[in-house]
Amino acid sequence: MSCGQMIKYSLSKLVMEMVGTMLLTMFFSTGNSATILLGLWILNIFFWKISGSHFNPAVTFAYMFRKDDRKMGWKIALAYMVSQFIGAYVGALLLNFYTFNLPQLEFNDSFIMRALIQELLCSFIFVFFFMTNTDEKLAFSNEKAINCFILAASYVGARAMFAGNIKSVTTYGAVCNPAIAMGIQLASVLNLGFEAWNSIYLYPTVPFGAAFLSVLFYELVYKKT
């Protein structure tokens, strides 16, 4: 199957990923854990059967290395990621258009190692829970609504463990989603200038490393035991 045929066949999935990530970005920017939890739960329920409700390039990246029937080829995975980044950027632009006060995404002080470890551990936990809960042999329940809630709760819970409910003028807490991070940083350039890119090397990149470590742990340790 050519790249063009693959994208045409998967167009509905890509649209769902784009729209879902756009809405998740808007929920995320509220800084309210309850809003994020309920919003992500609803998105998961409605989009699960179509795209798998990734809404996160780190999750899609992890799926490229799975060793089961849910493994994704690199072409469709890349298309997913592009759709997610576009969706997050559009969501952040909409927020900035209505408020023109989209807060800057940066770590709270000059100690970058704290923010790096925060993103690494948070993303590791979320991706791990996502993989276990999407494995039919390991899923907590056969009821899709329950599993969708667990996925939403694992994201909110992982962020809460690492101060992810903090929102002030200078920080959102843990992001654990490269698309949301990149979308906010690109959109906030309009009102903050290139100062908005102060931490562009951190939030959009670290979750990918965490996702790879999570896959290794899931495949080599968790499934073996």
pLDDT, tens digit (0-9, with 9 covering 90-100), for 177-223:
999 999 998 988 877 777 778 788 888 899 999 999 999 999 888 88
List all residues 6 or more positions away from 63 whose beta carbon is below 8 Å from its beta carbon.
54, 70, 71, 72, 77
Tell me which of 136 and 59 has the higher pLDDT: 59
Is residue 59 pLDDT above 90, yes or no? yes
CB atoms within 10 A of CB 120: 18
Owning domain of residue 63: 3-222
Is residue 108 pLDDT above 90, yes or no? no
Q: At 1, is the pLDDT very low, low, confident or very high (cuts 50, 70, 90)?
A: low
Question: What is the percentage of the chain residues whose pLDDT exceeds 90?
Answer: 45
Burial class from Cβ neighbours inside 10 Å (0-12, 13-18, 19+) for residue 10 reads middle
pTM over 0.85: yes
Give me the number of domains the chain comprises. Answer: 1
Tell me which of 140 and 105 has the higher pLDDT: 105
Q: At 69, is the pLDDT very low, low, confident or very high (cuts 50, 70, 90)?
A: confident
Helix, strand, coil shares of the chain, percent, nearest 5, are 70, 0, 30
Q: State the virtual CA torsion across 140, 141, 147, 149 in degrees, nearest 10.
A: -90
CATH code where residue 62 lies? 1.20.1080.10
